[in-house]
Copies of this chain bind each other. A is one copy, B any other.
Amino acid sequence: MNSDTPSTLVALLYGPDYKGIVAKVSGWIFENSGNIIHADQHRDQEEGIFFQRVEWSNEGSLSAESVAQSFHEFSESVGMKSIVAVSHRKPKIALFVSKFDHCYHDLILRWKAGEFDCDISLIISNHEDLNASSDHYGIPFHHIPVTKETKAEAEAQQLTLLRDNAIELVVLARYMQVLSADFLAKFAKPVINIHHSFLPAFVGARPYHQAFRKGVKIIGATAHYVTADLDQGPIIHQGVANVTHRHSIDAFIQKGRDLEKMTLSQAVRWQLENRILVYENKTVVFD
């Protein structure tokens, strides 16, 4: 593509650090008619790993897709793993929801306000509550009930929907079911969850109740990638709010809704802007 407004490319790359890698990357981009708009890098001093996010406008005659492919090959030739995204291609995402609707509305309204450069292609829920609302928003809604007995089958249905719609990101917007390791392995793309506590405190069920009983003075929410280990995946973002003895559990839950919305939406934005690299169960977020 070579229209009037040039496409931009974003590459995330990482690998063993060595002298000259920054020069190699920026040199390649220059030689391939790119103009670097942003570049941010990080070096893990202990582990000797190099991380970089570089964004450039494609000002040559080749299509952005073909530059992306070339860059990927180049990065491997210099010892780096990479993910390269092209600005004019919108990733398709799916929201998983249950009954709580605050993150659901928040994400969709942000998307409609232009905050997220993606397509929200479908909603999957184990309940029917948000069916009418999804209709109003014009987003296909799929009701897939989940019980202990039907879980495997339900996940198979979900996977079919994700594959048929070429979904690249699943966001669990207070989805109250645990995804199996098998599901995650088969989907093999990022799944982001919002946990309503300041992890690693209060893993598991009813974290606001746990926090209340403990008498903490700050509550939190944690957006993280989902792994087979419950609430243990790499942390992307955390938010907190002060509470006092005056706050009941209901007040924790109400305050928590704002935390969850702010924290999850920030994580999704970073994901869509290709700002996150994962290594050793931690994240590097180029914000």
Which residue numbers of A lie inside 8 Å of B, CB to CB?
Answer: 19-23, 26-27, 29-30, 34-43, 45, 51, 59, 101-102, 105, 109, 113, 115, 136, 198-202, 214-218, 220, 234-238, 240, 244-246, 248, 254, 257-258, 262, 281-285, 287
CB neighbours (8 Å) of A36 from chain B are 21-23, 41
Is the beta-carbon distance between B245 and A42 smaller than 8 angstroms? Answer: yes
Is the beta-carbon distance between B218 and A199 smaller than 8 angstroms? Answer: no
Q: Chain B's nearest CB lies how many Å from the CB of A242?
A: 8
Is the beta-carbon distance between A258 and B248 smaller than 8 angstroms? Answer: no
Majority SS at the chain A contact face: mixed
- Contact among B29, B39, B113, B262 with A41 in the assembled complex (CB-CB below 8 Å): B39
Q: Chain B's nearest CB lies how many Å from the CB of A206?
A: 15
CA distance A59 to B238 in the complex (A): 39
- Contact among B39, B102, B109, B283 with A215 in the assembled complex (CB-CB below 8 Å): B283
10 A/B residue pairs, CB under 8 Å, sorted by A: A22-B26, A23-B36, A36-B41, A38-B43, A39-B41, A40-B41, A42-B245, A216-B238, A245-B282, A258-B262
CB neighbours (8 Å) of A200 from chain B are 201-202, 214, 216
CA distance A235 to B245 in the complex (A): 11
